[in-house]
Structure 1
Amino acid sequence: MVDIMPRLERPETPRLSARVFEVLVEAFREGRLDEGEILRDSELAARLGVSRMPVREALLRLERIGLIDVEPSRFTRVTHVTEKLAQESLAFAGYTGGMLLRMLLPDLSPADHATLRMRVRALAVAADVAALAFALEELLSFLIGIDPRQFAARMLADTVPAVGRNVRALRRPLEELADLGAVEDLRAAVEARDAAAAEAALRDLRRLG
């Protein structure tokens, strides 16, 4: 496990724990951390070239969003993703993404509107569950990044990696999970800057049942 992490420089900003968090999130995103894998803060700290404190802070952030379980003095372990959790995460992405669209779409700058259309196109062309998860992560990250100091953005920022990891665990075919018609509705609504329709379309992305 310790060989999967790059050594870190010591930046002034952001906080070192934030950099450790980013490295661990990228490891989850690339599938380099397996369900049930044990993480040891001392090994991570040595591999990354940092003290144990920023590693522990980063692990606490991962625990809060459900990517790891921490039992003090016993173990820190990557969590397992159940089908129920994966389905809930897909629904969460639709509802939170829809809320952000409703809030932000009417006032987007031309440049941000163009980027949003590109992110939505990535959803439309997703060929499998992994591509869908990646596209959802990119869409949510973009919406949150438009105004990261906004209350909703602050509350949701750390949830994006968990959404991606959990949705990638879905085992059913994409056409059984996502309503591709809703994606087309989303594209049209975003193009027209129709915030209410865009919110509804993204919420309807997940097939029920």
Structure 2
Amino acid sequence: MVDVERRHEPTITGHKKLLAEGLFQLIGGRIVEGELAPGMRIRDADLAAELAVSRTPVREALQRLERIGLVTMYPSRYTEVSTVTPESIQVAREFAGLQAGIIVRLSCPRLAEDELATATALILDVADSVDDPFACSHARRQLMGFLSSRTGNPLQQSLIEEVSLALARSLRDFVIAPEHRRRMVEGCAQMIDALHRRDADAAEQACRRLYAV
């Protein structure tokens, strides 16, 4: 009996983790897309009923979202979607720029030729969208998500996955100043060149231009 219980325990635990992760991504995604707007109140009981789950995994997801700054929880009352401020945008931009540089540095020597072609296309998407803050933020997120999965470093990948929702929401409102757009497009071209030359140092520096860091 003991062996049977041990054999089934990982399955139950794994299911709970998948459920909690799914709720974290679902609720966080609604916040990023603006469906749950700043200042809006969230009640875990209402969400649990809507999604046909218990309140426990909903609360766990909200607690994770609070840790990355997307919500504020008021115990025994309600949860409120936080507000994006100029300070939070700056913090997100600086963090994202530095982490993106690390991602590019790690992935540069590991990219296969077909992956290099995909990365090039994603970088060009960033360059083509500099006049649209929302589209540019999405393009950067797609690029860094692709490169992050090719760093060969699970710790780095886990870090980015945990904060990606918070970065996506803040950077959506990061307006690229006209004088910086040209430098950003140049940075994209330099990043493509550096990746093709397998120059990790140059690729990292070029990547930071995408975030004005």
Question: Does 2:136 correspond to 1:132?
Answer: yes
2:205 corresponds, among 178, 185, 200, to 200
Partner of 2:9: none
Q: What amino acid sits opposite 1:41 in the alignment? A: D
Map Cα deviations across residues 105-124 of structure 1 (whole Å, 9 max, x no partner): 11112232222222211111
Question: Does 2:95 correspond to 1:68?
Answer: no
Unpaired runs of at least 5, structure 2: 1-13
2:196 corresponds, among 179, 182, 191, to 191
Larger radius of gyration: 2
* Paired residue secondary structure (1:73): coil
Q: CA RMSD in A?
A: 2.2
Partner of 1:35: 38
1:18 corresponds, among 21, 26, 33, to 21
* Paired residue secondary structure (1:15): helix
* Worse-superposed segment, 143-152 or 99-108: 143-152
Map Cα deviations across residues 134-191 of structure 1 (whole Å, 9 max, x no partner): 1122122222333686111112211111111001123x45535553222222222223
8 Å CA contact 1:91, 1:203 repeated in 2: no
* Worse-superposed segment, 187-196 or 73-82: 187-196
Which whole-Å CA distance do the structure 2 matches of 1:45 and 1:194 have between them? 49
- Identity %, equivalent residues: 34
> Larger % of helix: which?
2
Which whole-Å CA distance do the structure 1 matches of 2:80 and 2:179 have between them? 31
Which whole-Å CA distance do the structure 2 matches of 1:24 and 1:166 have between them? 16
Q: What amino acid sits opposite 1:201 in the alignment? A: A
Q: What amino acid sits opposite 1:203 in the alignment? A: R
TM-score by length of 2: 0.83
Which whole-Å CA distance do the structure 2 matches of 1:188 and 1:13 have between them? 44
Judged with a 3 Å threshold, the aligned counterparts in structure 2 of structure 1 residues 79 and 176 are, in CA distance, closer, same or farther, namely: farther
Unpaired runs of at least 5, structure 1: 1-10
* Paired residue secondary structure (1:183): helix
Partner of 2:6: none
Partner of 2:11: none
Shift of 1:24: 1.5
Question: Does 2:165 correspond to 1:161?
Answer: yes
TM-score by length of 1: 0.84
- Extract structure 1 runs of 4+ deviating beyond 6 A: none
